[in-house]
Amino acid sequence: MPEQYGYEAENVNPPLSIESVPEDVDSLALIVDDPDAVEPAGEVWTHWLVWNVPPDTTTIPEDWEVEDAAEGTNDFGEVGYGGPNPPDAEHRYRFKLFALETTLDLPPETDADGLAEAMDGHVIAATKLDGTYPA
């Protein structure tokens, strides 16, 4: 991933393209996390949680001003995007997109566990894109 997406750089989300969303989807949800953070941080680190993205969305632009969806609290303790900030080595970042058969009524303080619990039983399809970011 380019440097500007990092937490200590511009800390803006990268652009994402969305295609082939199944029919009968009411909303999309996005979870961005760092599975390589388990060793230095003790857990998979959540960088971004977004839900209630309209299912006809085809692009999430760089530095997206989320107005037609909702964001949760990342592991930096902030609502919204928190970019990569690997402390020890290059890390992988997973952009996981979920097609849901419902919309979710969740507060902004919702964390990854809360979002996963709310999505349970409502996922129609899912996909994942991985990126890396250097230390």
> What is the domain range of residue 56?
3-133
Residue 79 DSSP one-character state: B
Cβ-proximal residues to 78 (8 Å cutoff; 6+ apart), any chain: none
Q: Mean pLDDT across the chain, nearest whole number?
A: 98
Q: Which residue has the tokens 């969806």?
A: 69
What average pLDDT does the segment 15-37 reach?
98
Please give the share of the chain, as a percent, with pLDDT higher than 70.
100
Specify the 3-state DSSP secondary structure of 25: coil
Number of domains in the chain: 1
For residue 5, what pLDDT band results from cuts at 50, 70 and 90? Answer: very high
> Residues 38-85: pLDDT tens digits?
999 999 999 999 999 999 999 999 999 999 999 999 999 999 999 999
Looking at residue 108, its pLDDT comes to: 97
Which residue intervals of the chain are DSSP H helices?
A: 38-41, 112-119
Which two structure tokens, joined as six digits, stand for 39?
Answer: 């060793």
- What is the CATH number for 56? 3.90.280.10
> Residues 70-82: pLDDT tens digits?
999 999 999 999 9
Looking at residue 2, its pLDDT comes to: 97
Tell me the backbone φ, ψ of residue 19, rounded to 5 degrees.
-145, 165
> Residues 87-112: pLDDT tens digits?
999 999 999 999 999 999 999 999 99
Looking at residue 118, its pLDDT comes to: 99
- Of 30, 111, 95, 127, nearest in space to 69 by CA: 30
Looking at residue 22, its pLDDT comes to: 97
